[in-house]
Amino acid sequence: MKRKTAYIYIRVSTDEQAQTGYSLRFQEQALKDYCERNDIKIDATITEDYSAKSFNRPEWNKLVNCIKKKVVNCDLFLFTKWDRFSRNTSSAYEMITFLKKKNITPQAIEQPLDLSIPENKILLAIYLATPEVENERRGLNTKVGIRQAKKEGRFTGFAPAGYINKSTECGKKYIAISEQAVFVKWAFKEISKGTSSIEEVRKKVEKQGLKCSKNNFYRLLRNPVYYGKIIIPAYGDEDKHLITGQHKPIISESLFFKVQDVINERKLLGNRMYNTTLEHLELRGFLKCPNCQRLLTGSSSKGKTKYFSYYHCRSECGKRFRADSVNELFALELGKYKVNLFYSEKIKEIIALIYERRINSEQEERNKIIYEILKFDSMIEKALELLIQEKIELTEFLTLKTRILEQRELLVGKQPKLSENKNYIQKEIFLAKCLESFGNLGEIYEQTNIEKRRTLLGLILDDKLIYSHNSFLQLQIIKSANLIQYR
């Protein structure tokens, strides 16, 4: 009698099982013992760490392709239990039919069934449906649990930018304000001014230290979690709604909705008017039309030999001004203002505080990196202990060690970059230069680039400018009249 041949299939259902290796070794040994007892030759062993919710698994797909190409020539396809084969009833029946057509019999050695007997198909249905029901029940329980946690005001999932995930002593998860909250708050305030495009603000805040893609930054600006609310999605007869969260808000509700108004207004007008890529239009978004009070946009047109830039109104009034003339006059007006010396000591205190915070921030970042490096070193030591106790295989230890060392090296690489910034200007010189800058706003404005000019405008302008007949109609253009005075 011809000796039967088989492919044995080993699958783990969780990452934890894959790391410890217990399930893998148990399944493989059980299948080998079964084949030895029944004189079955093992042609190949297939090991997979993938969910059984579908058959879209890397190793399984390779096997199916080999079967279709008639590369596989075996009698049996063996696994320990039917939930190792599949946790989706309809997909499992389709795959069983496919294997039978190729003269391959699938069999669970711990739940053996002779599928040529009609009554056994009832047992097969139970074996296949039970894990699928377990999956769906677990998923439903998780969904209900998450929804209930949200109703209690707890944020679930990965913490958004500006927050960090934490857990209470009893294991309940919550979010707390992180160091990056200051960047998020700054971004909201900048957008609320309506003078810079969303992308312009994103790039600025990214330079400060908040890493965020375009899409994620837009979602950040729309997320009510920042003013203390939790979104409860629609479910059944219950409509989508907001509730007050247990976490601390980063911004006020009024600031959040002011930003929403700015974003919605830009959708109507088009973001083009806020695009500040053109070099000579630094006042775009800061100027109002003297006729209809709408914000002026700007554009450039080509003459015979060069481009000319204009600020112009988008309404029917068609008002427009040469950008170079307006820019030049504004720089002259700005040069007429200086810091009120009465407040110089108070300003020095504020600048000194900022200086100290910058120094301390670098040291805190360095200490944080050292702490994370020590944690990785401890993880390697624990993995080595597991290897010595024969709780993990050598290959598993080496894989784990390689991953940890890769992450550790990334942190080590950050340390020199931090120390490069250590040589700051001496404190007194730093203070003197800052005060000097306050006294020469016009000069500083003319010497810097367009991005910094617009940042300065957002800080000092009380209201939009109105330009007409070679002069600015609104003379009170500087914020805090007591702090900054006319020369």
Residue 72 lies in a domain: yes
| 231 and 211 within one domain | yes
Q: Helix, strand, coil shares of the chain as percentages rounded to 5?
A: 55, 15, 30
**Residue for token digits 């495009």?**
197
Q: Is the pLDDT of residue 349 over 60?
A: yes
Are β-strands 41-49 and 5-12 bridged in parallel, bridged antiparallel, or unpaired? parallel
Q: Which sign does the torsion angle of CA 200, 165, 231, 255 carry? A: negative
Residue 153 lies in a domain: no
- The pLDDT of residue 36 is 92
Residue 144 lies in a domain: no
| 429 and 446 within one domain | no
- C-beta of residue 335 within 8 angstroms of C-beta of residue 442: yes
Last residue of a domain, one of 121, 136, 151: 136
User: Which residue range forms the structural domain that includes residue 298?
Assistant: 287-335+440-486
CATH assignment of the domain containing 75: 3.40.50.1390
| 473 and 330 within one domain | yes
Instruction: Identify which of 438, 333, 400, 477 has the alpha carbon closest to the alpha carbon of residue 20.
Output: 400
- Model confidence pLDDT, tens digit, residues 134-151: 777 877 777 777 788 788
- C-beta of residue 85 within 8 angstroms of C-beta of residue 52: yes
- The pLDDT of residue 227 is 92
- C-beta of residue 127 within 8 angstroms of C-beta of residue 112: no
Last residue of a domain, one of 246, 274, 302: 274
Name the token pair of 105.
Answer: 């019999």
| 327 and 461 within one domain | yes
Residue 152 lies in a domain: no
Q: What's the structural domain count of the chain?
A: 4
Backbone φ, ψ for residue 113 (5° rounding): -140, 135
Q: Is the pLDDT of residue 14 over 60?
A: no
Instruction: Identify which of 316, 317, 329 has the alpha carbon closest to the alpha carbon of residue 282.
Output: 329
- The pLDDT of residue 329 is 87
Q: How far apart are CA 109 and CA 26, in angstroms?
A: 13
| 215 and 308 within one domain | no
Residue 280 lies in a domain: no
Q: Would you tell me how many other CB atoms lie within 10 Å of the CB of residue 329?
A: 15
Residue ranges in 194-311 assigned as alpha helix (H):
198-208, 214-222, 253-269
Residue 347 lies in a domain: yes
Rounded to 10 degrees, what is the CA torsion of 283, 287, 291, 292?
120
Q: Is the pLDDT of residue 428 over 50?
A: yes
Write down how long the chain is. 487
Least confident of 32-41, 179-188, 420-429: 420-429
| 394 and 360 within one domain | yes
Q: How far apart are CA 188 and CA 168, in angstroms?
A: 30
- Model confidence pLDDT, tens digit, residues 229-264: 988 888 777 778 888 888 899 999 889 988 888 887
| 327 and 368 within one domain | no
Name the token pair of 473.
Answer: 């109609």
Q: Is the pLDDT of residue 188 over 90?
A: yes
| 359 and 324 within one domain | no
| 123 and 35 within one domain | yes
Q: How far apart are CA 129 and CA 12, in angstroms?
A: 19
Question: Could you tell me which residue, 56 or 78, shows the higher pLDDT?
Answer: 78
| 91 and 25 within one domain | yes
pLDDT mean over 460-481: 69
| 180 and 70 within one domain | no
| 108 and 12 within one domain | yes
Name the token pair of 477.
Answer: 């253009």
Residue 151 lies in a domain: no
- The pLDDT of residue 278 is 55
- Model confidence pLDDT, tens digit, residues 113-126: 888 888 888 888 88
Cα–Cα–Cα angle for 452, 458, 462, nearest 5°? 145
Residue 48 lies in a domain: yes
CATH assignment of the domain containing 188: 3.90.1750.20
Q: Would you tell me how many other CB atoms lie within 10 Å of the CB of residue 345?
A: 8
Last residue of a domain, one of 234, 250, 274: 274
- The pLDDT of residue 197 is 82
- The pLDDT of residue 251 is 92
